[in-house]
Structure formats: structure tokens, C-alpha cells
Amino acid sequence: MRASLRLIRRILETETAYRLAQLRGLEGSDGNVLGIAWQQLDQGALAQMARRRPVPAYNRVRGVRADHVAALEPLLAWYRAAGVRAELETISAYCDANLVAELVRRGYFQSGFRVMLAGRPCQPPSALSLPVQKIASAAQLDAAWQAAAVAGTGAAPELQAQWRAALATGSSLYVRSTPGSAGAAILSIQDGIGYCAPAALAPTPHELDVAPLLRAIAEAAAAPLECLCVEADLCSGLHHQLLGLGFQVVFVRARWTSLEGLNLRAR
């Protein structure tokens, strides 16, 4: 699959729409106890904040491009005013020397890399027979959470809000049907582009359970999609497994973390 700028733009727009659905669900949950807020730079770039959950997963500027350099200062001032330190994410296809120089000047460094892979979905062997349940209603989701809670892996309220929001917007949730399992995957489709992501039905210390993800990919193969995209850590086991299923890397995502506040000790 050719990684054209048009395809990359459409993938980013699909992912952004999925993230917005999550944020709106969290904002409307329990009086917005997490302090959710966001600014949408455009259809493919999003700054998200959770004032009462100061961890990178909830406080990121996603899809930073070279033409966003002028927007960095107002955005970072917005985070500073809320007492939150933000992580930034750049996309390889939309990054240039000026953007990198500006991030370095502001004290950011590349702290991690992920890859977005895309392809026309194929059905992994025996994926449809995996012990995975497709969640199609809030009642089914509540039952899955109840089973997880009985096994001692109950989901936090924000996770419940995220998946309820996903179901309300037409996304599909897949969970392993084994009692007590916390493995899950989400499938969101917009304008012919599918976005499939590993998820967590509940907090778990175990390695990623790929069974729900493989089931989601198998079912996406039956949908009239231009392509399906899945993200993975660079050079991870999931990255190599997706390559074996025919997916190709369309861009690399770099995470930028501020040096400010890090506990750096001279050795």
C-alpha cells in the first residue's frame, strides 16, 4: 500500500474523530471529575488535557506538524496555566528541521516511537474462532465489566466512560470472553478508513492480549474499507505480527517529552 500524504491525512482524521469521541464521553462522565478539556488544531491534530490526571496518556498534543510551529506557544501556555506538563507527538511525514529545532529549543527530547501500519484487511487464520466477544450494547459491556470486577480486575470509571462513548458513536468493542480477562480492542470506521486499537477493558499488568485485535481485524476484512490502520510500538512483537498479516508502515510517530521536571542525576 502506497503511503501517500492523502492516505496519511485521512488516517489522522479518522484517529482524531475517535479520540474526540473518547474525550466527549469522559467530559460528560460524573461531572467531568478528570477535568477534561481539548483544543482541536484541525481535523488531524488535537491537544487533549486532563487536569486531574497529569499523565502523558491524557495530556498530549497529537499530530503536531511543521505548520503548527506558531501554535506551540499558545498551546503550551494553556497547559502551563492548568498546571499540566504536556507530551507532544510528531508524524514523520509532516516533520521538518524547523519543527525539530523549535521542540529542542523548548527543552523537549524524543522519548519513544510508535508506527502506524495500514493495509487492506485480510482475515487472520482461525481469527473468527478465537474466544472473543463482540460488544454491541451497553448491557453487554456492563456484564463484561462485572465479570472483570469479580476476578479482581475492575475497570476505572474513565475506562467505562471511554467505551460507552465508543459504542454510542458506532465503534465496535471486542473483549476476550475468558472470565477475568482484561484484553480488548476497539474498531472505529469513518469514510472508508478503519482505525483498530488494542485497548484495556480493565487495568492489567499482563502483556498485550492480541486475540481481540485479531478478531477485530478479521471482521474488518468483511467491511468495504479502503484500508485498516493499527498502531504499535516500534519493533515490538505486535509490529512484526502485523507485518506478517500484510500491513505496511505508513508513518512513524515520535513522542516528545519535556526535560523540565525530570529527575536527572549526574553519573
**199, part of any domain:** yes
d(CA 219, CA 121): 9
SS (HEC) of 59-104: CEEEEECHHHHHHHHHHHHHHHHCCCCCEEEEEHHHCCHHHHHHHH
Looking at the structure, do residues 16 and 102 belong to the same domain, yes or no? yes
Indicate whether 64 pLDDT > 90. Answer: yes
Share of the chain above pLDDT 70, in %: 85
Identify the weakest region by mean pLDDT among 14-23, 36-45, 157-166: 157-166
Query: Which pTM was predicted?
Result: 0.87
Q: Is the domain of 105 the same as that of 189?
A: no
pLDDT at 164: 79
pLDDT, position 267 = 41
| pLDDT tens for each residue of 219-266 | 888 888 999 999 999 999 889 989 988 899 999 999 999 998 665 544
Overall domain count for the chain: 2
Of residues 35 and 150, which shows the higher confidence score?
Answer: 35
Residues 87-145 have pLDDT tens digits of 999 999 999 999 999 999 999 999 999 999 999 877 666 776 778 888 888 888 888 77
Instruction: Give me the residue label for grid cell 467505551.
Output: 163
Domain range holding 180? 127-225
| Average pLDDT score over residue span 190-207 | 75
Say yes or no to pLDDT of 21 above 70: yes
Looking at the structure, tell me whether residues 150 and 187 fall in a common domain: yes
Confidence of residue 183 (pLDDT cuts 50, 70, 90): confident
Do residues 57 and 89 share a domain?
yes
State the pLDDT at residue 266.
44
Beta strand pairing call for 45-50 and 193-200: unpaired
Is 247 domain-assigned? no
The reported pLDDT for the residue numbered 265 is 46
